[in-house]
Structure 1
Amino acid sequence: MDALDDIRSKVVACTKCELCKTRTNAVPGKGSHGADIVFVGEAPGRSEDLSGEPFVGAAGKKLSAVLEKHGIARDSVYITNVVKCRPPNNRVPTQKERDSCINYLQGEIDAINPKVVCILGNTASNSILGQAEITKNHGQVVEKDGRRYFLTFHPAATIYNQELNAVIDADMGRLAEIVSKMRDA
């Protein structure tokens, strides 16, 4: 069993916080174990809770479409969330819930050791970088503890604000360029 399989089994059995009582399924990350990019969102939604897989609902379809547009195959990346179980009514996860899952997330990132971690939205940014200023910092690379993080809006934000489609599209184009240059270096 590799490190990601070990994390997956721990996530599925986890009872560290109250979300285990209301979930249908825990939702560990999924994707390439050798990914150049790890995408990190906030928490599973209803579709993810039902399927046990990350980013399979409306936000996941938007993410897949923008990745495809920029030549990034979904099966070549790894997609996960800060919190591994759906908060009731899709509310923002509490600090305790985020703290309960942070070691799983860090384990996923460490096991893959991607070229870039793409942070999707303020909750992920706050949990990983300690700041929640996506509007100000989207499209930027931030380095922390020897790792590169790329910040953009969560695809779900486009459902409520159509103007963000163009912003996420431009950000993903920039991310694709950054990773391509890193591969060539």
Structure 2
Amino acid sequence: MRLSHLCGRAWPEGALLDALKLSPSLDVLDVGAGDGRLVRELARRGHAGRVVGVDPTPGPGVQPAHAEALPFPDASFDVVLFARVLAHLPDQARALAEARRVLRPGRRVWVATHGPAHLRATWAALGQPLAPGKAHPEPALTLTCPLTLTADDAQFLLGTYGEEAEVSPHLFPVQDAAQLLIWRHSPSL
């Protein structure tokens, strides 16, 4: 919610839906829906198709389910979304296989994750430069939202990652960016 406030729009669900330009009649499955923000954003936009969110620890309006064992028949959805969740799953290959199973022929699985520029300046100001990580294939879309973070924002973000550190107010505000990389997976992958 704080990044949404700083970006001036719903981050990442609003930015992701803007970029994907989903037809309002498509049936959408949000895997790893958490508190259901993406599901609610689709409803707020008047999405007419069926929208289902699943998560092992679901919030309101989200069904309990694991990505590796989706409780839906074959060919149930037009779009399957993994927004900032695939990297956290114990069996990514099984989760993608399940997504393809519940996907209708000719439709798409979309995977979105934070990119290397996501909050880079803030982490550097906190003395925690990000590790380079492994290389990813070229994303279909990249979304970047410039923002300015205060020392209070940085302290809050540290807490969301389960981190504690002394935040030096003189290092802030920081001009930074939230970033999301989005990949499109065809059913044949």
- TM-score by structure 1 length? 0.32
Higher RCO structure (Cα 8 Å, ≥6 apart): 1
**Higher-Rg member (1/2):** 2
More strand, by proportion: 2
- Higher relative helix content: 1
